[in-house]
Amino acid sequence: NAGVMQNPRHLVRRRGQEARLRCSPMKGHSHVYWYRQLPEEGLKFMVYLQKENIIDESGMPKERFSAEFPKEGPSILRIQQVVRGDSAAYFCASSSTGRDQPQHFGDGTRLSIL
Amino acid sequence: ELKVEQNPLFLSMQEGKNYTIYCNYSTTSDRLYWYRQDPGKSLESLFVLLSNGAVKQEGRLMASLDTKARLSTLHITAAVHDLSATYFCAVKYSGGGADGLTFGKGTHLIIQP
């Protein structure tokens, strides 16, 4: 499967724990985006990364959330000290360098906070 | 702040009928996308609209873009049950900067036999 790969598909955490969500972009894609989707809502942009660089994090909450896309390995979205309000589906998307290209989405990680 | 509004948000229709979903956005944009999402699944890219007057068709779905009116439409012709899904439009702000998309809330479409 050459698509965008996210894991885990489902993640359960207790309040105060850390959540790590992983995303491997499509082969040949160097642009990664993270979105959050609340129930019955559209996706909200969080952050846009290229290898080793955060290009735009205007949608990231100011505290507890961070993202990286290292030179080797998947992109990671990290949520520290999770709270109930962090429960959502988190989608990763990737695109090639062409601006006209659509973003291709992974299957998402459903995060549940107990 | 770029805002994207879809309507209707919920639509129940019978097979064989035609209908249109509307997507309005608030500021200048040069990229508009339509996606489909099945329950519990990811988003599937349907159309990419890049210029004023662009029209694209795939099967029973046709999308158009009017950048002057800041409006895109997704038209469904002779609907079939397999088209039941949630449809999102998403807009990329043309003011420069990064490429994050702004999504509408989605249109939840149910097509009944």
pLDDT digits (tens, 9 = 90+) for A29-75: 989 999 999 887 788 999 999 988 998 898 899 899 999 999 999 99
CA-to-CA separations, A12 to A15, A86, A89, A109, in angstroms, rounded = 10, 11, 12, 10
User: Which member of B50, B90, B105 has the closest CB to residue A41?
Assistant: B105
| Tens-digit pLDDT profile for residues B31-84 | 899 999 998 888 999 999 988 888 999 999 999 999 999 999 999 999 999 999
| Contact flag A31-B106 (C-beta cutoff 8 Å) | no
Beta bridge partners of B93: B29
Structural contact between residues A10 and A18, judged by C-beta atoms closer than 8 angstroms: no
Contacts of B101 in chain A (CB under 8 A): 33, 35, 43, 45, 103
Residue B45 amino acid letter: S
Contact residues for A28 (Cβ-Cβ < 8 A; gap 6+): A96
User: Which member of B41, B88, B98 has the closest CB to residue A42?
Assistant: B88
Contacts of B98 in chain A (CB under 8 A): 48, 55-56, 58
| Contact flag B101-A103 (C-beta cutoff 8 Å) | yes
CB burial class (10 A; 0-12, 13-18, 19+) of residue A96? middle
Higher pLDDT, A39 or B4: B4
pLDDT of residue B99: 67
Q: Does A25 touch chain B (CB under 8 A)?
A: no
pLDDT of residue A23: 97
A19 pLDDT higher than 70: yes
B98 pLDDT higher than 60: no
A39: closest chain B residue by CA: B105
pLDDT of residue A38: 87
DSSP state of B59: T
